[in-house]
Chains A and B, each alone.
Chain A
């Protein structure tokens, strides 16, 4: 990933900054430029989503994407945040058999990857089961 592309998304990746439509109150994540319901009359503003949600579905990854090879088997989940939007995120600090549909999770700040040994480090959100 190019550095500027990652840098542009830092507010969303670090702090779950999405958008909310001032017209219909729908919350979007990632942020949108246009409200899908209200179109031209929509009034989008930045909105910080609450860092809590529950697992809607999950899978255990055994053949990892590049950069995640040393973490297999790991859990990747679809999480519905309290504010409504669903995100795909890794469930960290847990074994492959520790996650169930409906589990409460919180958003944590973790290292997501790096551009090789010399490039930048990427940070962002993952989920962790609420203990």
Chain B
């Protein structure tokens, strides 16, 4: 494989709601929930934000970091389960807003929380085949959890954008390999015209998240003949704070390898954005030569695993755009009623 990451960018909305604030409404014990999910607060999109605006801000940060002419981007794929339109691509809005139009291909992807990494794989294929110089893949969501559903504590908003190009001096990380593991597992779904997803409760754990994440990680380690000790960092999809640490422990990764890319405790589950924001957070602090494992998970279900080695260009590029920590620390809290209005749970 001769491809690399040329640029990346993230965006996380400013507003936050604390677990205490949600638990108060539903008469639940916030400490039990915070302990159980390992989540303290989650990001909330402003009333004028949606998946398209989040994707655009992340894409602009990625272009800034890459320092490339957006006209050289040959593909934009936006992965999300909360595209603003049922029919009309988010990707064309992003393409226009970063001035990449009109000589490119664009499409929206959907695979629960892993549509963004599916986009990265598509870009890797297209760049490797020589179809285009650069491809951009975005994972972004404004996730919805039904009022009172356990998902309401974690369903958050945010996104990450990655620009894939040939592996050369301008790549800040080299992609060593990718491996996917996919089965038909109905652990979480949303039917047509329905506002909120449904899920299988505990069924979302062992047969869904853990089976796919661990199988994809094992598959990639076998393929590349690596062990967990060969990696400096490991990023797993993070529906809550607990699952990625459990999966890591089962695979033989330490907490220290996982924590730099674990953002859910502070921002919630940003769905398609989650593993990409985790990877961005690792790149924000990694040194050249560090090896990073990324494993996404999308309900339905599947996982994409990637192995990357950080390169010298990271030092020059990383300060060109806001880092994950900048967005995590820029916040304003809202109460449940404001949250309900912002999320259109209250409509006059």
B52 — which chain A residues lie within 8 A by C-beta? 111, 121, 123
Give the residues in chain A near B46, CB-CB below 8 Å: 92-93, 110
B47 close to A109 (CB less than 8 A): no
Q: Does A59 contact B (CB under 8 A)?
A: no
What is the minimal beta-carbon distance from B312 to any residue of chain A, in angstroms? 30
Docked pose: A27 CA to B266 CA in angstroms? 43
Which B residues lie within 8 Å of A69 (CB)?
Answer: 348
Which residue of the partner chain B has the closest CB to A113? B48
Closest to B50 in A: A111
Residue of A71, A109, A111, A131 most packed against chain B (CB within 10 A) = A109
**Smallest CB separation, A107 vs chain B (Å):** 10
Known: A109-B53, A109-B56. A92 touches B96 (CB 8 A): no
Mask: chain A, 107-127; 1 = CB below 8 Å from B; 0 = not = 011111000000001010010
Contact A108 B341 (CB under 8 A): no
Do B48 and A126 touch (CB < 8 A)?
Answer: yes
Q: Mark B83-115, 1 if CB is under 8 A from A, else 0.
A: 011000000010011010000000000000000
Residues from chain A with a CB closer than 8 A to the CB of B93 are 123
* CB-based contact B330/A71 at 8 Å: no
B52, closest chain A residue (CB): A123
Q: Kindly report which residue of chain B lies nearest to residue A14, judged by CB atoms.
A: B97
Check A109 against B57 for contact (C-beta < 8 Å). Answer: yes
- Chain A, range 52-104, C-beta contacts under 8 Å to B: 69-71, 92-93
Q: With A and B bound together, what is the CA distance between A111 and B348 in angstroms?
A: 20
Assess the B341–A110 pair: CB atoms within 8 A. Answer: no
Expressed in whole angstroms, the minimum distance between the Cβ of B112 and any Cβ of chain A is 23
Out of A15, A111, A121, which one reaches B49, CB within 8 Å? A111
Instruction: Choose from A10, A70, A108, A126 the contact partner of B96 (Cβ within 8 Å).
Output: A10
Which of the residues B85, B99, B341, B348 comes within 8 Å of A15, measured between beta carbons? B99
In the bound assembly, the distance between CA atoms of A123 and B50 in angstroms comes to 10
The 8 A CB mask of A5-47 against B (1 = contact, 0 = none) is 0000010001100000000000000000000000000000000
Give min CB distance, B87 to chain A, whole Å.
12
Chain B residues, CB < 8 A from A112: 48
Minimum CB–CB distance from B77 to chain A (whole Å) comes to 19
**Complex Cα–Cα for A112 and B60 (A):** 19
Q: How far is the CB of A126 from chain B (nearest CB, A)?
A: 7
- Given A14-B96, A15-B99, A93-B14, verify A71-B47 contact (CB < 8 Å): yes
Classify chain A: how many residues form its interface, as a range.
10 to 19
User: Is there contact, CB below 8 Å, between A131 and B53?
Assistant: no
Other-chain contact of A70, B56, B330, B341 (Cβ < 8 Å): B341
Determine how close the nearest CB of chain A comes to the CB of B138; give it in whole angstroms: 13
A16 → chain B closest CB, angstroms = 11
Complex Cα–Cα for A92 and B49 (A): 10
Q: Which residue from chain B places its CB closest to the CB of A10 in the assembled complex?
A: B96
B48 & A121 in contact (Cβ 8 Å cutoff): no
Residues of B within 8 A of A121 (CB): 50, 52, 84-85
Residue in contact with A110 in the complex, picked from B14, B48, B60, B99, CB distance below 8 Å? B48
**From B84, which residue of chain A is reached at the shortest CB distance?**
A121
Closest to A17 in B: B99
Bound Cα distance from A111 to B93, whole angstroms: 11
Q: How distant is the Cα of A44 from the Cα of B105 in the complex, in angstroms? A: 31
| Chain B residues whose C-beta falls within 8 Å of the C-beta of A108 in the assembled complex | 53, 57
B residues in contact with A70, CB < 8 Å: 47, 341, 348
CA distance A110 to B99 in the complex (A): 16
> How far, in Å, is B143 (CB) from chain A's closest CB?
17
> Which of A10, A15, A71, A123 is in CB contact (< 8 Å) with B53?
A123
CB pairs A–B below 8 angstroms (5 shown): A15-B99, A71-B48, A92-B48, A93-B332, A121-B50
> What is A's interface to B at a CB cutoff of 8 Å?
10, 14-15, 69-71, 92-93, 108-112, 121, 123, 126, 131
Q: A15-B97, A110-B48, A123-B93 are in contact. List 4 more A-B contacts (CB 8 A).
A: A14-B97, A110-B53, A111-B53, A121-B50
Chain B positions within 8 Å of A, measured between CB atoms, are 14-15, 46-50, 52-53, 56-57, 60, 84-85, 93, 96-97, 99, 330, 332, 341, 348
